[in-house]
Structure 1
C-alpha cells in the first residue's frame, strides 16, 4: 500500500493527501482485513477529481492541522487517521490499528506502559468522535476507541480481545507479569488469575518479525517459547491456552474454542 501511495504521488498533477487505511499504512499501522486494495486520498481542491477503481477520493473537510508528512507524502496525522479508520472500517480492522497506534506512543518495553501518552492520543481521537455525532460509523468508532489498548502486541491479540468482549467471555488481564526465576519476568498476552489460566497468541510475527525475534531463527524462537511456557506453568500452576489465526477464522469458531477452555459459558 505504501508503494501504491508513492506511485500515485509520482504521477499526480498536485500532491495528494492520503487518508484512511492508506494513511494508516504510512503511519506504520496494520490494515488487518481492511480495504488495502485501493489508495485513499482527500480531495481538498475546489474541483475535486472523481474516484476510480483503484483510488478512492474522499470529499470532506479536514483542518490544516490534521495534515502532516510521512515519507515525503502528505497524509492525515495519526489522530485524524485513526478517526477515519474507526468510522470506515470493521471493528476488527479498527481495533488492530488503534491498539498499535497506542502502543507506538506508550509502550517502552519490559512491561513499561506510559498510560499518560496513550491517554493523550485517545483523547485526540475522542475529540474528533465527539465533534462528529452523526458521522457514518460513529457508534463503532466510539466503541473501538473505548476498548483500545496499546498493550496488545499483535493484531491477532487485538481481534481476540475484541471478540472476547463481544462474546461476553471472561475478560483477561493484558501483559500480566510473572516472575519465572533467574531475575526474569515473563509478560503474558492474556491472563485469567481467578481461572488459573493464561493465554498466548501465536501469530507469525513472534517467529518472523525482526523486532520480536531479536536475531533468533524461528526454531530458536519456538524452543525459547516452550521453555518460557514451562517456567510460567512451574511458577503459577496455571493452564496454558495457546491459539493462532487458525482459531480466528470466525467469531463462532473462536467462541467454541474459548468454551472448550472454560473461558466462555
Structure 2
C-alpha cells in the first residue's frame, strides 16, 4: 500500500454518499484533514515519520491538483526515499513548468527554476525532479545538516553492498552528477554550502545522526574518523565500526533511535535484545582491539556546542 492508497478523498466519499460519515469521523478526531478535500486516519498520521508525512502531503496535492504537479526540493527528496532531517516545515515543494506560473501559498512553495527535461522523472504515479537534481536543490536550499544526511543516504542507497562493501564507482557516478551541477551554478544561493557538503559526502554513513556527527566533527576541527572499519571479533565474525580513530585507540558508535525500533535494523528483536547484543558486540570489539568505546545518540547532537564538549571529553577535540 502506498501513501496515496491511505488517503481519503471527499469526492470519493461524496460519490458513495458517505460525507456525513466522514464528517463525523473528522469531528471525533479519528480522521485528519491533510489539505482541502483530502483526509487520512489520525492514527496513521500520528505514527508517521516526517518523510512519510511529506509524502502524504505530496500525494494529497496531486490528488486534487488541476494539473499534475512536479515535486522538487525537500518534497522530492522524501519521495525518493531520502531522510529529511528537520526539513519538514509542513509545506509541499513543487516546480512550476507552465507558461502561467501559479503563486505560492502558505502550504505550497512553487519554485520557478529552468530545468531540462532530463531532470524530470517519476516516483510511482508522481512527477518529481531526478535524484541528482533533487540533491542539488536540497544542497542549496537546506541547512548543511539536512543536506549531508540526504546526500549520504542517496549514495548509500546506490553504492552500499553490505558487509563493508562500498561500491566507489557507483557512488562516484551520482556524486559527479551532483558536483557538476554545483560547479555550473557558481552564483546560486547556498552554493558555498553545497560545495562543502558535496566534498564530504560519504555513503558509508548508515543513519542521519552519523552523517551529522561527521559533518560537525569536520566543522569543529575534531580528529577525522575512519568509517566502517572492519574488526574480527572471533568465531568467524566480523563487525564494522561507525567511526574509528586507530591512532587515538578509540572507536565510536552512534546509537540512533532506528537501531532500536526500525524493523530493517532490529531484525525482529526487542529493544532490550538489541541493547544486550550491542553490549556484547562492544565487549568483543574492545577485546579484539584494545580501543576505548565512545557512544552517543541524538541527545549529544542537541547543538554543536554540546557535541564539541562531548568530543573534547573523549580526547577527540583539542
Q: TM-score range by the shorter chain?
A: over 0.9
Deviation, structure 1 residue 33:
1.1
Query: Are the equivalent residues in 2 in contact too, given 1:87–1:140 (CA < 8 A)?
Result: yes
Q: Match for 2:297 among 228, 244, 263?
A: 244
Counterpart of 1:178 in structure 2 is 231
Bigger Rg over Cα: 2
Tell whether 2:267 aligns with 1:214: yes
How far has the Cα of 1:213 moved from its partner? 1.1
Change (3 A) 1:36 1:25: farther
Measured in 1, the distance between the counterparts of 2:207 and 2:196 equals: 20
Aligned pair count? 265
Residue 203 of structure 2 is aligned to residue 169 of structure 1: no
Mapped contact 1:22–1:36 kept (Cα < 8 A): no
Q: Could you say which structure has the greater relative contact order, defined with CA pairs below 8 angstroms and 6 or more residues apart?
A: 1
1:156-203 deviations in whole A, cap 9, x for unaligned?
000000000000000000011000001111100000000000000000
Spell out the pairing of 1:38-117 with structure 2 (5 A cutoff). 38-117=91-170
Unmatched runs of 5 consecutive residues or more in structure 2: 1-53
Deviation at 1:220, TM superposition (A): 1.0
- The 5-angstrom pairing of residues 150-169 of structure 1 reads 150-169=203-222
Distance 1:112 1:217 in 2: 28
In 2, the alpha carbon distance for the partners of 1:209 and 1:67 equals 31
Unaligned runs of 5+ in 1: none
Q: Secondary structure of the residue that 1:257 maps to in structure 2?
A: helix
Q: 1:258 aligns to what?
A: 311
Deviation of 1:253 after TM superposition, in Å, equals 0.5
Residue 8 of structure 2 is matched in structure 1 by none
- Deviations 1:4-33, CA, capped at 9 Å, x for gaps: 000000110100000000000000000001
Structure 1 residue ranges (4+ consecutive) displaced by more than 2 angstroms after TM superposition = none
RMSD: 0.6
> 2: distance between equivalents of 1:49 and 1:97?
28
Deviations 1:244-264 (A, max 9, x none): 000000000000000000000
How far off is 1:71 after superposition? 2.3
Deviations 1:213-242 (A, max 9, x none): 111111111111010000000000110000
